[in-house]
Amino acid sequence: GQSVGAFLAKGLTFHLEGEANDYVGKGLSGGKIVIVPEHETSFLAEDNVIAGNVIGYGGTSGEIYINGQAGERIAIRNSGFNAVVEGIGDHGCEYMTGGRVIILGKTGVNFAAGMTGGIAFVLDEDGDFDLRCNLETVDLEAIRSSSPEERELLELLQCHLTATESPKAKRILDDWANWRGRFVCVLPVEYRKIFRRTQA
């Protein structure tokens, strides 16, 4: 049904083998949600939608790992949780103010609209993510070697692999030197200034 893992508290882990509807992790409050396809499935998870729309709406802390794609408005109003998903629809990270989000695949349009905090990492394999990102409040940067952003990205990729056994995450980590240049870091303009000062 709807709202799987809503308001999940710290110390709790929800592991779903199968598919989920909308509002997964709504109001996430420190818990951990893992969604993977059923073992018997014949489709390639990274190319198929296994979770619905508005995942993590209004979440404040916690983790979401999805071995597959999700729908629209992912991590809207995220103020502090971390998420990894392998492709999304439109309006991702809308009004996001905190947390970290990794998209290991394509995004829809209007990504990062109204985003004022947090960091998103997008795997831009086709080199056209800038055409789908709303650039009013964010800048796009490459991932520099040995940077704080690279360390955070690698840490979350490893967490995703551990939680889901994602083949795509494994391919990326096993050949990181060649994959790093395909990632784009999405940083809100004002947030970037604060982030840089704290990392100095």
184: domain CATH number is 2.160.20.60
| 103 within some domain | yes
Beta carbons within 10 angstroms of residue 89's beta carbon: 18
Which letter, b or e, does each residue of 164-176 get, where b requires 16 or more Cβ atoms within 10 Å of its Cβ?
bebebbeebeeee
Model confidence at 190, pLDDT cuts 50, 70, 90, reads confident
Beta carbons within 10 angstroms of residue 137's beta carbon: 17
| 81 within some domain | yes
Model confidence at 192, pLDDT cuts 50, 70, 90, reads confident
Contact 50, 20 (CB under 8 A): yes
**Backbone dihedral region of 106: left (phi > 0), alpha (psi from -120 to 50 degrees) or beta?**
beta
Residue 174 belongs to what domain range?
13-199
Q: Would the pLDDT of 195 be above 90?
A: no
At 78-112, the pLDDT tens digits run 999 999 999 999 999 999 999 999 999 999 999 99
Q: What is the mean pLDDT of residues 49-54?
A: 98
Q: What is the mean pLDDT of residues 138-158?
A: 97
Q: What is the mean pLDDT of residues 185-189?
A: 96
| 3 within some domain | no
As for how many domains the chain has, the answer is 1
**pTM confidence score:** 0.95
Q: Would the pLDDT of 200 be above 70?
A: no
Percent of the chain as helix, strand, coil, to the nearest 5? 25, 30, 50
**Interatomic CA distance for residues 1 and 22, integer angstroms:** 8
- Residues 5, 53, 132, 77, CA torsion sign: negative
Which letter, b or e, does each residue of 60-86 get, where b requires 16 or more Cβ atoms within 10 Å of its Cβ?
bbbbbbbbbbbbbbbbbbbbbbbbbbb
Q: What is the mean pLDDT of the chain?
A: 96
